[in-house]
Structure 1
Amino acid sequence: MSHTQTQNQSTPTATVAVAVIPRATYRLQLHKDFGFEAATTILPYLQRLGVSHVYCSPISRARPGSLHGYDVVDHREINPELGGQEGFERFAAAARAHGLGLVLDLVPNHMGVIGAHNPWWADVLENGQASGYAGFFDINWHPFNEELVGKVLIPVLGEAYGEVLAQGQLQLAFDAAAGQFQLAYFSHRFPVDPHTWPVLLDAALAELEAAGGDASLRARFIALSAYAAALPDRSEVGEAARNYRADVIAPLKQQLAELAGEADAAGAIERVLATVNGAEGHDELHRLHEAQAYRLASWLAAADEINYRRFFDVNELAALRIEDERVFEATHALALDLTASGVVDGLRIDHPDGLRDPAQYFERLQRGHARRLAQRLPDAATPVATADAQALGIYVVSEKITAAHGDQPDDWALHGTTGYRYGMLVNGLFVDRRQARRFERIWRSFSGVETGYEDLVTDAKRAVALGPLGAELTVLATQLKRIANTDRHTRDYGFSTLRDTIADTAASMPVYRTYVVDQASAQDRRFIDWAIAQARKRSAAADTGVFDFLRSCLLAEFARDDEAHRPQVLQFAWRFQQFCAPVAAKGVEDTAFYRYHRLISLNEVGGDPATFGTTVAAFHGASSDRCARWPHTMLATSTHDNKRSEDVRNRIDVLSEVPGVFRLGLRRWHLLTRSLQREVDGRRAPSPADEYLLYQTLLGSLPAGELDDAALADYRERVAAYMTKAAREAKRETSWMRPNAAYEEALLGFTRGVLGRSAGNPALNELRTRATELARFGGLNSFSMALLKYSSPGVPDIYQGNETIDLSLVDPDNRRPVDYAVRDQMLDTLQPLVDALDAPDRAAVQAALQRMAADPADGRLKLWTTWRLLELRRRDPPLFENGDYLPLKVHGKAREHIVAYARRTPSAMLVVVAARLYVGLLGRPGAPLFGEACWGDTTVDLTPLREAHLAILEAQDVLSGQRHALMQPGVADSGHLRVAELFASLPGAALYLGPQA
């Protein structure tokens, strides 16, 4: 539903696209079992809930069976497993009919490549550097290992290449329909370069002659062999040679397919396959393999020798050179056609930190959209981002993780991020900051881990740089050594010293990456200087002057006046930045987060576990800044990337208020489970750190209410899978690279034992009792979080199912099917409350809301809050798109337990007041949540709003329907809202003043 308008100018009328800013988005994870048809069935529910846009996971063709869509194999085609083009068109039309727009998730950084499903990658494997797609992928064709020059290392084998060959697991195969020889390894198929066919075709000719085959068939074999031999070698990468290969190979395959359709020819080919595959020693097969543009290798070789850039350390995902405009157009044409046609309103960009130049990329997105609309934009010398972000043609957000001390660059042509930072900011409000040291002592005492979080992160990042990403590090070190050799002052720095220096600096980088293109910004310089200084302190290098050399290269200042070598320096700086992002992601999110368990609700994508909670002042500061600079960024509290859902975190947050109770519980649970513990390699299993993680996980995710045998069994296996993944990610006792079967067996035995049965299981019974207590307070946290999220500056995003209480863990657990029928029925049960909000007698409404607040773990209160505030966003879009943000002061005995602010435009205002830190507020189970006994003299100061709204004295709470007098002329305490009166029904309120109030 992109809108266009015409703008009168002195030149002919031009079409100007204006981005559609979503009111709220709803994220769906599409896959073969939940495609477009299934998604269409829930559109009426999403419309009723009140979102404006359906936010879809990637819809381009992915590897068969993909459950996430990030392993795209063809950007030009809509995934047939989701319903294909026709299915998408029906889905999009149905969305429009329900007044819903679409936001699509795009994957510009990488493609799925293992398997025979990616036509571009298959062409590269077949033709090497002579492929027309060789420049699409970020392949180092001249690696450190000279034997790999002109080849791509494919680390797909389960064992060493020699063993695979000797065991006959590698076979020569023939696809008769495609006319293509292949190397087969189980289900994998790799093309054989037609230039190497002659030895096979000549052998087939010999077989045919020995059998007395038809002369015409023999002649056709001879001709095909001659054509194949005449193909230019892959090393001939000129345009003429490349075009000739491309023109000849397709008909060559067609002729071979036709020839193979003859029974005698097919028989001859089959006998050649049998001979090659059955030969002792497999020498012929080995020679054929060595003649290809790729080398098959053990998956363990990737860390040392892989020579294509990947998504993190995932061998199956090869990085694209999206900075090449040909690659950009080839991969984005479909998406931009959809935005220009008005079918799609917005784009979510996955992992922009993997791109060489994100600023260039986002500008190309906007220009590509505008070009399809024949829209006039500033010339190329004037960045699109200099315009007002709301005037950009398409709504764009980036999946960007920003540090508290950094931010997304202001000059990117987009509207913000996908909201990870907001999720951790608002989560921190429910963590008691005063208990940080006590929790650190509890963690260290129980786990025995003495390393502080920041040192642990640096160690983990360095281990990732030297280990899983070691091949990329070698490429960087080779580049840097070549640069060093150009100057007499730096040529003595050795390769190993440079390699270690790069690793130390990447591990010390305080942000995911910098964005140097031609020269460093002030922010880039600050981060690089910080990293260099920290790395220098930790370094064991004899000559730390090497860090000065590296710094000058990272800032693109080395040999600034040397035009001959400056391109080398820039290439190195760009590549280092692309290296830093996966080092940070793998070192922090996928290692440190699984080693440091002080309070695991803080261990979340976009978060910093070293920061124990958020002050109200910090929340206000970040919200004010977001309102001023990124008013249309997404607000996410749960995502498909979460380590645990928002509601699991909200439960675990409660532990921060009761450190003594948690410490005693740890001691008790450990004693009750001693019989389940084992010894592996002379040490206790599970480790104390994993045991500590398990208890917090159970407290955060145990289902509320009774658990029958079936429900307990399902939950047991979910947690067992989670603990296995967590232990492997931690890389302490076991890992993905080197699984420790004995340790994992002990860990699973312990986990399943704790959750073994309901009856006669004192450890589980105690954990369930504690979890039930936490569930109430966690549910209240979820209520307050929803109240803040749907009224804050930005575009709130709901991850599928999280409009109610959802107790999911990391993927794949958070991608389980969502029961939308139950959620729709819950709206049905809440509808009478909506109808009664304006009734004269409000006693029934108040009683119903108080009952929901007494049992918030059932999800009704969270859903009610979400539904009511989404309806308000629908009623008054300008208030949330453009409204100011004003922090409000709170006075009185419970002031530390309140967050209050206002949103306002010239015609409307919303006053939001939410409670927090409920355990410290109530003091004891069963204490009253409402009235003077709880809130006493606590007031919210509304006097900063007086000038703007002198004539508006009364507002209605959109959650309860209650009307409250805000400002009364002549009354002494006018403008001081008493919380005890405000919180008569719920521990939160959203007071709306507007034309329709």
Structure 2
Amino acid sequence: MTRMTPDHHGGEVPAPPTATYRMQLQPSFPFAAAAGAVPYLASLGVSHLHLSPVLEAVPGSTHGYDVVDHARVRDELGGEEGLRALARTAREHGLGLIADIVPNHMASAAGLNRPLQEVLRDGPHSPYAHWFDIDWEAQDGRVLLPVLGHRLSHELDHLEVDGRVLRYYEHAFPLREGTETLPLPELLDAQWYRLGWWRLARTELNYRRFFTISDLIGVRVENREVFDATHEKIVQLLREGVLDGLRVDHPDGLADPGGYLKDLADAAAGRWTVVEKILGEDEQLPAAWPVAGTTGYDALRRIDGLFTDPSGAAELLGLFRRFTAAPADRGGDWDATARRAAYKVVTHELAAEVDRLTREAGRLCAADAALRDHAPRALRAAVRELLVRLDVYRPYVTGGADPESVLTPGDAEDAKGVFTVAEEAEAVDTVRELALGRCGSGPEHEAFRARFAQTASALRAKAVEDTAFYRHAPLLSATEVGGTPQSPAVDPESFHAYCARVQRDWPYTGTVLSTHDTKRSADVRAGISVLTQCPGRWADLLADVTERAAGEGGASAPDPQLAWAAWQTAVGFGDRDGERLQGAMLKHVREAGLHTSWTEPDADYEKAVRDFVTAGPCGPPGEAVTAFADSLRPHVRANVLGAALAHLTMPGVPDVYQGTEREYRALVDPDNRAPAHFDLELLERLDSDEGTAPGELPHELSGDLSDEKLALTVAALRLRWAHPEWFGGESTYEPLAARGAGAAHCVAFARSGEVVAAVTRLSLRLAEAGGWRDTELPLPEGHWVDLLAPGREFTGHARVDDLFTRLPVALLVRAQPVERAASAATSGRGPHQR
């Protein structure tokens, strides 16, 4: 049965998860397939399945974030009955369900999004007009729909009136009543929408969207009526026990994230909820938000950073600069690259959003005698210059820190430097005051502050995640969502401080290592981060493969930045699959936008990229990469297992991405979103006690990183399930400090005085320094046994060399409860099948 806990109303709600397992639902992996995996996942030791969005989406969608109907569970996945059947199967095995929800946007797919169809037919008079954030004062009061492949004059022959519908290829647009008999040119002009060339979206779009994706239109859930209509089905599923909790996608895109989350918490009656809030390096989650925490990218950065050598990372940066000769603002320097990328996005991709902010600022200034006479050009420049200087996704006016901490007077003074007329520079102070909420009040002022913040989040995501991370690439493992490539390493003290803060403030926050959005899976990143421990060897490899490629016809890279990224990706990926590597590298160069892009593709350059990947990393020169990666395998193993154990035992609720319980090497989407495969027989063999001690790997599973990772994951997850009190809100976190020559390479901590996790950090540097030698780890008082190496017991001070004899990690439990713990960690029935 699913565990329950009292709520603040005196009733009961499902207890927070002990661990979740993320499943990517899609037509080729529907609810029925997920139900078939339930016995495996129950035996694995998670408490909840974490489902990607379940509501009706665009047909064929492989992710579900393009919702078209909030009132229906997606038919292609099996419909509501399929979801309820999955929930019943999960309950029978003691599991609950967590669902991803998408409050910020809907797909604008014509003919599928009924509320939007009503708006397109009836305009601002539609009862659904308040659903969408449309600027009816722009575009002559019509909604620009940037769907045409070329200018309208080139596409007239492809437009067809079919009754009361206007068709354009697969698109279907409703016609305004009484216009269906008009000649085509007049008919087009008579609609509440304007069909336009897709390129016009950059400058002419007059509705809020998700980032720069015009196919996803923003939804105004700050309106209570809209909130109720778009959440009715999800709330019903929560209250009827089909769902136990939620993951909220992209809260930064909302007008009022804090207000929305309060409404959601009330509607969901306090069920476990985490938000996909991307935090800056020193940014804290707003304490007033009624959520359990984030989805875990802040934890990902700390775990990855723990296994990154700071001196080696700095050396890689120097090598990258020399090898690529990249200008500072085109990859050579992080700050300059991020700033240039931000200017590019705010000037081009988000030009329409900046224009709307400028118009709104102008109206507010015109209505205030103290703010009048700012030229639109000056206001536009002020908006742009302040936006590009933000180093977080969104400045919050309520629910968090004072936004002045990220819209500082210093930034304002710096922004003024672009003005040639001092009087015009005063527009910066005006826009800053408006964005901070310090001048004026009322709905229009609130709307400006919200829109400024919403635009800031879109800018940060597109400029940093989707541009700068692909240009500044000395260490690709550091370029993940929420990452800080300028300072990728995290020392043990900082890691412990982060864990202690999480345990104190957000003990049920989510933690992740791999997700559907990570550019490289955790195990690929683990292979890349080892390069920070051997930058000289990486330089030698790069010189070798570059020379070999030059001697192979067609194996030379079209530019050095692409070469660096491709060879480094190949080292971490470890698979010479040309199709998968080609796909990842083509996305890399398009996102970087230095030689080609999604909107202005250079066919010749992209052919050169494909040819290089085929003949280079996937050709004969790639053999040297394989040999190099093989030589680092023991240290990759230490990183993979160390990151996994830290993730599964640190404060928070670990989310295990599908397939990552074993070695999992995947690249950027869609590579990482393939349907999952599950092998219950493998777990049954792992649990077999024939000829092996309890918890020991069966002989046929030994010696393989996948099997070692599986055994570690099973032991940790089942331990969490059997003893949630050791890891939950009332538990404790205690750093343990090793002593001796290798002390800096052992990171250990205790949970509630009952569990000790210890991992090896920077194992290659350790080996070069002479190994563990006399290093020892003082343990909490008592007798301890290792769940990952049964039969091994420790008391007092454990010699680290002994602790890590079999594996580069150790998971210890007190001897008194070991029978229960070992049973939960090794039982063939699994913790949920009692």
Q: TM-score, normalised by structure 2?
A: 0.94
Q: Distance in 2 between matches of 1:733 and 1:820?
A: 41
Contact 2:785 2:815 in 1 (8 A): no
Report the counterpart of residue 565 of structure 2 in structure 1. 693
| Secondary structure, counterpart of 1:397 in structure 2 | strand
Contact 1:126 1:192 in 2 (8 A): yes
Contact 2:286 2:400 in 1 (8 A): no
Q: Are residues 1:193 and 2:176 paired? A: yes
* Partner residue of 2:774 out of 928, 933, 937: 937
Report the counterpart of residue 442 of structure 1 in structure 2. 319
Residue 746 of structure 1 and its aligned partner are, at CA, apart by 1.1
- Tell me how many residue pairs correspond in the alignment: 811
Contact 2:2 2:95 in 1 (8 A): no
Report the counterpart of residue 222 of structure 1 in structure 2. none
Report the counterpart of residue 619 of structure 1 in structure 2. 495
Residue 19 of structure 1 and its aligned partner are, at CA, apart by 4.7
* Partner residue of 2:94 out of 99, 104, 107: 99
| Amino acid paired to 1:789 | H
Contact 2:5 2:14 in 1 (8 A): no
Q: Are residues 1:873 and 2:720 paired? A: yes
| Amino acid paired to 1:742 | D
| Secondary structure, counterpart of 2:611 in structure 1 | helix
| Amino acid paired to 1:982 | L
* Partner residue of 1:730 out of 592, 599, 608: 592
Report the counterpart of residue 922 of structure 1 in structure 2. 767
What is the alpha-carbon root mean square deviation over aligned residues? 2.3
* Partner residue of 1:44 out of 39, 43, 66: 39
Q: Are residues 1:889 and 2:737 paired? A: yes
Q: Distance in 2 between matches of 1:122 and 1:439?
A: 53
| Amino acid paired to 1:622 | Y
Residue 548 of structure 1 and its aligned partner are, at CA, apart by 1.5
Report the counterpart of residue 709 of structure 1 in structure 2. none
Q: Distance in 2 between matches of 1:130 and 1:571?
A: 21
Deviations 1:830-877 (A, max 9, x none): 2236984459xxxxx59969x95x653xx1111110011111112211
| Secondary structure, counterpart of 1:984 in structure 2 | coil
Contact 2:396 2:402 in 1 (8 A): no
Report the counterpart of residue 15 of structure 2 in structure 1. 20
* Partner residue of 1:85 out of 80, 86, 92: 80
* Partner residue of 1:597 out of 473, 479, 483: 473
| Amino acid paired to 1:780 | A
Report the counterpart of residue 297 of structure 1 in structure 2. 196
Contact 1:779 1:805 in 2 (8 A): no
Report the counterpart of residue 209 of structure 2 in structure 1. 310
Residue 15 of structure 1 and its aligned partner are, at CA, apart by 4.4
Report the counterpart of residue 542 of structure 1 in structure 2. 421
| Secondary structure, counterpart of 1:886 in structure 2 | strand
Residue 677 of structure 1 and its aligned partner are, at CA, apart by 7.9
Report the counterpart of residue 644 of structure 1 in structure 2. 520
Deviates more, 1:436-445 or 1:633-642: 436-445
Fraction of identical pairs, as percent: 36
> 1:753-764, aligned counterparts within 5 Å?
753-755=615-617, 757=619, 761=620, 763-764=621-622
Contact 2:143 2:193 in 1 (8 A): yes
Q: Are residues 1:335 and 2:234 paired? A: yes
Q: Distance in 2 between matches of 1:922 and 1:609?
A: 26
Report the counterpart of residue 156 of structure 1 in structure 2. 147
Deviations 1:457-497 (A, max 9, x none): 11111211111111011000111112222345543321122
* Partner residue of 1:976 out of 788, 792, 797: 797
Structure 1: give runs of 5+ residues left out of the alignment: 9-13, 175-180, 201-283, 371-392, 704-711, 840-844, 925-932, 947-952, 967-974
Q: Distance in 1 between matches of 2:771 and 2:594?
A: 47
| Amino acid paired to 2:145 | I
Q: Distance in 1 between matches of 2:689 and 2:457?
A: 49
| Secondary structure, counterpart of 2:451 in structure 1 | helix
Q: TM-score, normalised by structure 1?
A: 0.79
Residue 676 of structure 1 and its aligned partner are, at CA, apart by 6.1
Residue 24 of structure 1 and its aligned partner are, at CA, apart by 0.6
Residue 5 of structure 1 and its aligned partner are, at CA, apart by 7.3
Report the counterpart of residue 250 of structure 2 in structure 1. 351
Structure 2: give runs of 5+ residues left out of the alignment: 819-834
Q: Distance in 2 between matches of 1:538 and 1:48?
A: 61
Q: Are residues 1:462 and 2:343 paired? A: yes
Q: Are residues 1:427 and 2:309 paired? A: no
* Partner residue of 1:991 out of 789, 812, 826: 812
Residue 977 of structure 1 and its aligned partner are, at CA, apart by 2.7
Q: Distance in 2 between matches of 1:132 and 1:368?
A: 24
| Secondary structure, counterpart of 2:319 in structure 1 | helix
| Amino acid paired to 2:22 | R
Residue 756 of structure 1 and its aligned partner are, at CA, apart by 5.4
Report the counterpart of residue 660 of structure 2 in structure 1. 802
Q: Distance in 1 between matches of 2:690 and 2:698?
A: 14
> 1:462-611, aligned counterparts within 5 Å?
462-517=343-398, 522-529=401-408, 532-533=411-412, 535-536=414-415, 539-543=418-422, 544-559=425-440, 566-611=442-487
Report the counterpart of residue 56 of structure 2 in structure 1. 61
Contact 1:476 1:572 in 2 (8 A): yes
Report the counterpart of residue 825 of structure 2 in structure 1. none
* Partner residue of 2:638 out of 776, 780, 804: 780
Deviates more, 1:301-310 or 1:871-880: 871-880
| Secondary structure, counterpart of 1:462 in structure 2 | helix
1:4/1:899 CA distance change after superposition, 3 Å: closer
| Secondary structure, counterpart of 2:774 in structure 1 | coil
Q: Could you say which structure has the larger radius of gyration?
A: 1
Q: Distance in 1 between matches of 2:342 and 2:662?
A: 36
> 1:357-368, aligned counterparts within 5 Å?
357-368=256-267
1:988/1:522 CA distance change after superposition, 3 Å: closer
| Amino acid paired to 2:671 | D
Q: Are residues 1:912 and 2:753 paired? A: no
Q: Are residues 1:418 and 2:295 paired? A: yes
Residue 347 of structure 1 and its aligned partner are, at CA, apart by 0.3
Deviates more, 1:461-470 or 1:285-294: 461-470
* Partner residue of 1:173 out of 162, 169, 193: 162
Contact 2:416 2:428 in 1 (8 A): no
| Secondary structure, counterpart of 2:788 in structure 1 | coil
1:534/1:67 CA distance change after superposition, 3 Å: farther
Residue 667 of structure 1 and its aligned partner are, at CA, apart by 1.3
Q: Distance in 2 between matches of 1:414 and 1:36?
A: 27
Report the counterpart of residue 820 of structure 1 in structure 2. 678
| Secondary structure, counterpart of 1:883 in structure 2 | coil
| Amino acid paired to 2:518 | N
| Secondary structure, counterpart of 2:155 in structure 1 | helix
1:531/1:827 CA distance change after superposition, 3 Å: farther
Report the counterpart of residue 832 of structure 2 in structure 1. none
* Partner residue of 1:964 out of 793, 808, 816: 793
Residue 767 of structure 1 and its aligned partner are, at CA, apart by 1.2
Residue 771 of structure 1 and its aligned partner are, at CA, apart by 2.1
Deviations 1:223-265 (A, max 9, x none): xxxxxxxxxxxxxxxxxxxxxxxxxxxxxxxxxxxxxxxxxxx
1:521/1:427 CA distance change after superposition, 3 Å: closer
Q: Distance in 1 between matches of 2:755 and 2:271?
A: 28
| Amino acid paired to 1:871 | R
Q: Are residues 1:128 and 2:123 paired? A: yes
Deviations 1:156-190 (A, max 9, x none): 0010112112xx1112123xxxxxx1111111111
Structure number with the bigger relative contact order (C-alpha 8 A, sep ≥ 6) is 2
Q: Distance in 2 between matches of 1:348 and 1:522?
A: 23
Contact 2:776 2:800 in 1 (8 A): yes
Q: Distance in 2 between matches of 1:751 and 1:128?
A: 50
1:360/1:838 CA distance change after superposition, 3 Å: same
Q: Distance in 2 between matches of 1:731 and 1:119?
A: 36
1:313/1:835 CA distance change after superposition, 3 Å: farther
Contact 1:110 1:317 in 2 (8 A): yes
* Partner residue of 2:625 out of 767, 787, 810: 767
Contact 2:166 2:172 in 1 (8 A): yes
